[in-house]
Amino acid sequence: MNRNRSFLHRTAVFIFLAVSILSGYQTTVRAQDEAPQLTVGSKSIQEGILLGKLMIGALQQKGFKVIDRTGMGKTDDLRKALQSGDIDIYPEYTGTAGLFFPEVEQSVWKDSKAGYETARRLDEEKNGIIWLTPASADNSWVIAVTRDLAEQGITSLPKFATFIHGGGKVTLASLKELIQRSDGLPAFAKAYQFELGESQVVAIDQRQPGEPPAVPPTDFNALLTLGSSAQIAGWDMVVLEDPAKVPMVFRPTPITRRDLFAQYGQKIDEALGPVFKSLDMATLIRLNTRVVVEKISPDVVAADYLKEITAPAKPVDPPAVSH
């Protein structure tokens, strides 16, 4: 009788363990099959695409399945796609929130911390959009001129305006969106009271999403772009001083919807927060230079950078002890 009981006990334990192992395996497989999926979008500007690729790589490292829709359009296109659910997350700039909330005093968007906090609060309250951890970089629009023009004494925006008023020839290149946006070229023109005709402004948008911007015409001598743009150094431009401090501060920041944040917010921010915190101005310029000047794919540049910031620190050899 005792033998039978012992046998039955061992059999029951074996069955229990087998069922537990099988159940655990099925749970693991199910969890892998049900890994959360996110669609990452970005603007069609070169830096926007690069930021989107960084987000994709970082999310994949955290186990997310990712659909790549980087380079899909302008700010309005991305905003509508996020709110409709066509995309789940994309990199935005804090200063651009000034367009979303025109009732806010413009000086707020020129303050790095206040701009981010205001965008974060208002977008969640009014639109259910969550601003995650921002980049360290305080970026902004700048106008730069060719070195030849700078050597003629055109080193500030007041001098640039005086040059235009005096009949100086200016052809300014920029992304089409910045030519049209109220906080882009129109803001500089209003602050410094200059005017450029249609023939004096040339759009240099990408021919295809992901490609570097088109090279401007050979006779251009001014450029409106982000301060982190590799074109400034790549085309040997000189940034003009801006005593009126016209542009907003643009801190790159991932934004997503509140419903997704409620489900995956902690995991998303764990993936993206360290990456964006590492993006200061010097780093953005370095990464943009690899894409625009060295003509390396944004996918490769993003992958290389993620390896760079996640690589374990090399051990330091102890100092030699002299005897």
Go through the domains of the chain in sequence order and give each one's CATH number: 36-138+251-309 (3.40.190.10), 141-239 (3.40.190.120)
pLDDT at residue 18 greater than cutoff 70: no
Q: Mean pLDDT, the chain, as a whole number? A: 86
Query: How far apart, in whole angstroms, are the C-alpha atoms of residue 110 and residue 250?
Result: 9
Q: What is the pLDDT of residues 62-111, one digit of tens each?
A: 999 999 999 998 899 999 999 999 999 999 999 999 999 999 998 999 99
Do 240 and 155 form a contact (C-beta atoms < 8 A)?
yes
- pTM, two decimal places: 0.77
pLDDT at residue 138 greater than cutoff 70: yes
Band (5; pLDDT cuts 50, 70, 90): low
Do 115 and 97 form a contact (C-beta atoms < 8 A)?
yes
Which tokens sit at 320? 């030699």
pLDDT at residue 155 greater than cutoff 90: yes
Distance of CA 222 to the CA centre of its chain: 25
What 3 state SS string does 260-280 have? HHHHHHHHHHHHHHHHHHCCC
Which residue in this structure is represented by tokens 């609060």?
121
- For the segment 219-234, the average pLDDT, to the nearest whole number, is 89
Render 62-105 in DSSP notation, one character per residue. Answer: TT-EEEEEEEEE-HHHHHHHHHHTS-SEEEEEGGGHHHH-TTS-
Backbone angles phi, psi at 221, to 5 degrees: -140, 10
- For the segment 241-251, the average pLDDT, to the nearest whole number, is 94
Query: How far apart, in whole angstroms, are the C-alpha atoms of residue 189 and residue 208?
Result: 29
Band (187; pLDDT cuts 50, 70, 90): very high
Write the DSSP symbol of residue 195.
-
End-to-end CA distance of the chain: 77
Give pLDDT, residue 308. 96
Give pLDDT, residue 21. 47
